[in-house]
Amino acid sequence: MPKNPTMREIAAKAEVALSTVSQVLNNRANVAPDTRERVLQAAAELGYRPKVAIDAPFAATSSTIGLITRRRNHERLIVNPFYSYIIAGVERECQRQHINLMYANLEVDERNHAQSLPGMLLNELVDGVIIVGAFLEEAVADISRRIRRNIVLVDGYTSQEAFDSVLIDNYAGAVNAVTHLLDHGHRHIGLIGSSPDAYPSVLERRRGYLAALAARGIEQTYIEDSPRLERIDAYDAALRLLKRCPQITAIFAINDDSAIGVLNAARELGRRVPDDLSVIGFDDIDLAQEVTPALTTIHVDKVLMGTMALRLLRDRMHDSERAAITTTISTQLIARESVKQI
């Protein structure tokens, strides 16, 4: 029996993109009729035989999606403790739905300008893309053009175009965190890990901090800006804040890594947590329950974020004309040992 032609051979004969062949052979609706006819004609002439699944309602598809994360030049390949669980959620859902998954890093310079696009985009090897984390809008727009808007952003924001996205309810989570401190008697509460020009998710948490205090009639705020969401920056910011405002009894850190930096700063200053200073984080990474004391934090279902991203993308690939959908994942407070009643 002669071998089936490859999709690349069909694409060459029909003079269309490889992804277009994939869409036609998988009977998707978002292909122009004349293009569909040209692809089917080329496939027939090359002797293509569609695979028939018998009694297999969940048979594998030939869909392939890409997952892109960002990496700065010369940055070490460290697994992000937050995004790794999002990736795990995408992987699990791909396995469940029989979808192929490709990974790539988008290399950026110190100013976050994209250096080059991954080969899976340049060679049109994927039918859609999930972008995890912060990216420049021009990079997102370029990716979107190459894959006909089959794109989902996870913890990503753009102002120019509306894309399907999976976000965290950062504002409500921050309100919950600060309210927890207020309920434990704290009135002098600091904020570590943000800046006025920070990423939108960080600004949402900053607004939640301010809103929770205002709701209790507290006007005094203690905010120490830091340039990055990294432990060392939070450590430095916490040292400055606690030295300047020793009356602070609690700190809300924008994420858990920042909260660990605060724990280190408190230890440096001889302030015991939680006896002298209560600390609460956000994200609930694995390390949050391993530090001493175990960190009270806001839990984010990161695996669910990846799962929802894949479901949104698959739906988008089948209906490219529908309106953009934003899925917001709610949060939950996890009380451990770093907050004390005063």
Q: In angstroms, what CA-CA distances link 245 with 104, 120, 216, 242?
A: 45, 52, 21, 5
Predicted local distance difference test score (pLDDT) of residue 161: 76
Predicted local distance difference test score (pLDDT) of residue 321: 85
Predicted local distance difference test score (pLDDT) of residue 8: 79
CA atoms of 17 and 124, how far apart (whole Å): 7
CA atoms of 338 and 84, how far apart (whole Å): 25
pLDDT digits (tens, 9 = 90+) for 147-201: 777 999 999 888 777 899 999 999 999 999 999 999 999 999 999 999 998 989 9
In the numeric block, which tokens belong to residue 297? 């934090």
CA atoms of 206 and 82, how far apart (whole Å): 19
Task: Say whether the peptide bond before residue 274 is cis (omega within 30 degrees of 0).
Answer: yes
Predicted local distance difference test score (pLDDT) of residue 59: 39
Predicted local distance difference test score (pLDDT) of residue 113: 57
CA atoms of 135 and 69, how far apart (whole Å): 9
Predicted local distance difference test score (pLDDT) of residue 2: 58
HEC assignment per residue over 43-54: HHHCCCCCCCCC
Predicted local distance difference test score (pLDDT) of residue 209: 98
Predicted local distance difference test score (pLDDT) of residue 52: 44
Q: In angstroms, what CA-CA distances link 215 with 179, 252, 299?
A: 9, 16, 23
**Same fold? 64-168+303-328, 170-300:** yes
Question: Where do the structural domains in the chain lie, given as residue ranges?
Answer: 1-59, 64-168+303-328, 170-300
Residue with tokens 């890409």: 66
Pick one of 1.10.3720.10, 3.40.50.2300, 1.10.260.40, 3.40.50.620 as the CATH number of 1-59: 1.10.260.40
Class of 64-168+303-328 per CATH? alpha beta
Buried b (16+ CB within 10 A) or exposed e, 244-280: eeeebbbbbbbbbbbbbbbbbbbeeeebebbeebbbb
Pick one of 1.10.630.10, 1.20.1440.120, 3.40.50.2300, 3.60.9.10 as the CATH number of 170-300: 3.40.50.2300
Predicted local distance difference test score (pLDDT) of residue 285: 94
Residue type, 307: T
Predicted local distance difference test score (pLDDT) of residue 166: 97
Q: In angstroms, what CA-CA distances link 44 with 12, 41, 49?
A: 14, 5, 8
Ranges of the chain whose pLDDT falls below 70: 1-3, 26-31, 49-62, 71-79, 108-115
CA atoms of 261 and 72, how far apart (whole Å): 23
Predicted local distance difference test score (pLDDT) of residue 29: 56
Is there a contact between 139 and 105 (Cβ–Cβ < 8 Å)? no
